């Protein structure tokens, strides 16, 4: 638990400032790229992102909210969540502007709808979003601890309450909702009607990413090894170890894992594992994403150059198996991708 807390603190520092700060007396080492220190070999071999388009910051439907628009809400600039589709378009949870928006790959607005309950007097803090393949969305309101299922026009159909401080939401192949709630020490599964159908208790490491059979997956890690698990049964929870991922950096670098997390799945039901390792000075020695099959076998991997952004925003995966995230400047929000071989 202590190692997990330390790892999360380091990642939060990276997310909020873009820089991992070492002790004041220590001199930075490595290669500086985009405000982050990389080990020289990684800096020369890591893959850079590719911009998809640029969407200007602003308050209009064709914009997304940025730092300038978010100063009163204090949630940081840029959308809270996003979901890429097979045709290259993507949905964006523009919480600052209180709308869910659908953009084409060239950045042109296709459609949008307002958050349920949002008004000039009430700011609704939607934190996460899932697109339902059969139509509609799950939207997570982090302040009220509630997930709302809405149709394609944003009209509420189901409300699931009592979910404060949830880490993320996800979906399985049947359209059921998964909610990872570390406060409850549980992963919960609800059907589209809002009924609780499964509860995986005592397993805070389980994610909302599922395998080809809709079984939840999760990752545990220590300084030198990450391990992938599958939850085979709920109530009581039964997990099975699928694969281990030892840190492969030379010992003399004194690097250790600071993060290991599943970030999504593609249309073929492959899952994607992110592994990050740093040394005590904050120099990044590994920033890797692996493509795995449902049994944990590595199919491909890529070392990437990180793009820091504010938590709880996170990377996700496109249907064709690319890592999807974003970067920003003072004027625009740029959805980006990283390709795996």
Task: Give the closest residue to 193 by CA, choosing from 149, 142, 128, 139.
Answer: 149
Alpha helices in the chain (DSSP H): 2-17, 40-45, 67-70
**Is a pLDDT exceeding 50 seen at residue 15?**
no
Comparing 76 with 235, the larger pLDDT belongs to 235
pLDDT digits (tens, 9 = 90+) for 155-190: 999 999 999 999 999 999 999 999 999 999 999 999
- The model's pTM: 0.89
DSSP assigned state of 252: G
Q: Output the six-digit token pair for 39.
A: 């080990």
Which residues constitute the domain of residue 312?
A: 2-338
**Is a pLDDT exceeding 90 seen at residue 17?**
no
Q: In terms of DSSP bridges, do strands 225-233 and 168-171 run parallel, antiparallel, or are they unpaired? A: unpaired
CATH number at residue 234: 2.120.10.30
End-to-end CA separation in angstroms for the chain? 34
- 128 pLDDT band (50/70/90 cuts)? very high
Calculate the CA 166 to chain-centre distance: 13
Specify the 3-state DSSP secondary structure of 150: strand
The pLDDT value recorded for residue 74 is 58
Of the ranges 58-67, 283-292, 328-337, which is most confident? 283-292
Domains identified in the chain, total number: 1
CA distance 264 to 262: 6
CA distance 52 to 61: 19
pLDDT digits (tens, 9 = 90+) for 73-93: 656 678 999 999 999 999 999
- 253 pLDDT band (50/70/90 cuts)? very high
């Amino acid at each position: 638990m202590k190692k997990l807390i330390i790892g999360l603190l380091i990642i939060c520092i990276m997310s909020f400032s873009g820089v991992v700060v070492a002790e004041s007396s220590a001199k930075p080492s490595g290669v500086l790229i985009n405000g982050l220190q990389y080990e020289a070999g990684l800096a020369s071999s890591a893959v850079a992102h590719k911009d998809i388009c640029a969407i200007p910051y602003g308050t209009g439907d064709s914009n997304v909210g940025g730092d300038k628009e978010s100063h009163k809400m204090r949630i940081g600039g840029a959308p809270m969540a996003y979901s890429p589709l097979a045709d290259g378009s993507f949905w964006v949870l523009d919480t600052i502007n209180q709308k869910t928006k659908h953009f084409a790959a060239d950045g042109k607005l296709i459609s949008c709808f307002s958050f349920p309950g949002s008004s000039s007097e009430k700011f609704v803090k939607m934190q996460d979003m899932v697109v339902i393949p059969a139509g509609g969305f799950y939207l997570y309101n982090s302040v009220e601890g509630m997930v709302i299922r809405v149709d394609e026009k944003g009209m509420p159909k189901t409300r699931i309450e009592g979910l404060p401080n949830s880490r993320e939401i996800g979906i399985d192949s049947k359209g059921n909702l998964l909610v990872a709630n570390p406060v409850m020490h549980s992963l919960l599964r609800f059907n589209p009607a809002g009924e609780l159908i499964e509860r995986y208790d005592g397993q805070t490491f389980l994610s909302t990413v599922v395998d080809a059979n809709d079984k939840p997956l999760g990752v545990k890690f220590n300084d030198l090894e990450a391990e992938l698990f599958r939850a085979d049964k709920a109530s009581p929870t039964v997990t099975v170890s699928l694969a281990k991922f030892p840190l492969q950096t030379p010992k003399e670098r004194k690097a250790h894992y600071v993060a290991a997390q599943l970030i999504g799945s593609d249309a073929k039901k492959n899952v994607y594992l992110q592994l990050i390792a740093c040394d005590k000075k904050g120099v990044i020695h590994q920033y890797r994403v692996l493509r795995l099959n449902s049994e944990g076998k590595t199919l491909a991997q890529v070392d990437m150059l990180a793009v820091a952004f504010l938590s709880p925003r996170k990377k996700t995966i496109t249907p064709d198996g690319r890592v999807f995230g974003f970067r920003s400047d003072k004027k625009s929000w740029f959805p980006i991708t990283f390709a795996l071989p």
